[in-house]
Structure 1
């Protein structure tokens, strides 16, 4: 079946919410009402559209959004432009059909067009994609000398 990769639209918030809930990774999302999560995603999509610092692409198959990727484009002094892939999710019923690969390939092409010198991402070792070596199969290298740190900040109202 044909897969179309396109820019995300506000009306995709429902499908993206369904994908996130189907993964079952976030206790917060699982406990939150579907409509609440959907509203937050729609708000974030609108914000990202205004800021123009991100690219959100969806994979569509027979009119249904079955996956998406989110990339942050940023500049820094030492290397120039980079892209950070913060999210790449495919609905669990659709994995293994090349959807994630198409999303990743599309982002790589966009990064080259933007003159980026590097794409980065974090993949948790407990994830199935890590076990399958999904990113390694696409030429990505695990940085053995790097540590990825996180600082959780208290929630604030926007």
Structure 2
């Protein structure tokens, strides 16, 4: 698969089926694993519509002319009182057949461009150490730095039934 054939663009509601397929194929999310493909698709379409309407986050897809949407990323735009504007990259996922071909790097490049247009001072993300992307140093190879002085805390507000 050549990067020259790849198009990175803002997601459209009709991309929700392809994104849902990627997420179900990966099987990493308890919520997604317990939801039907149709429910996941509806939820994603609603998120894309909200993203395009409100501008609080941006969802980009990587589209190949032969294979369709093979990856996506989502970034949330935040105004930090101390640092100014920043972006939080909440998701970057590729179809398993599309990894290791530079597609994730292309998505990150576009997010950096969007962040620069918005005057962001920083981009951040969480990469779980158990993920293959962490083990192979994907983000560090893209110029991102791990923060050794920070700890990630979460508070679960709902459970999957």
Shared topology, TM-score over 0.5? yes
Report TM bin, short chain: over 0.9
2:146 to 142, 148, 157: 142
Q: Distance in 1 between matches of 2:30 and 2:156?
A: 16
The answer to whether the aligner puts 1:115 opposite 2:119 as a matched pair is yes
State the 4+ residue runs in structure 1 displaced beyond 2 angstroms: none
The CA distance in 2 between the partners of 1:36 and 1:84, in whole Å, is 25
SS for the counterpart of 2:147 is coil
Alignment of 1:69-148 (within 5 A): 69-148=73-152
How much has 1:149 moved relative to structure 2? 1.0
The counterpart of 1:23, out of the listed 15, 21, 26, is 26
Give the TM-score normalised by the residue count of structure 1: 0.94
Alpha-carbon separation, structure 2, partners of 1:77 and 1:134: 30
Q: Which runs of 5+ in 2 are unaligned?
A: none
Q: Distance in 1 between matches of 2:120 and 2:100?
A: 28
**Equivalents in 2 of 1:80, 1:40: separation in Å?**
30
SS class of match (1:85):
strand
* 1:9 matched residue in structure 2: 12
Matched, 1:37 2:40: yes
Q: How many residue pairs were aligned? A: 155
**Per-residue displacement from partner, 1:66-102 (whole Å, max 9, x unpaired)?**
0001000111111111000000001001101111000
Q: Structure 1: which 5+ residue stretches go unaligned? A: none
2:147, 2:47 → 1: CA distance? 30
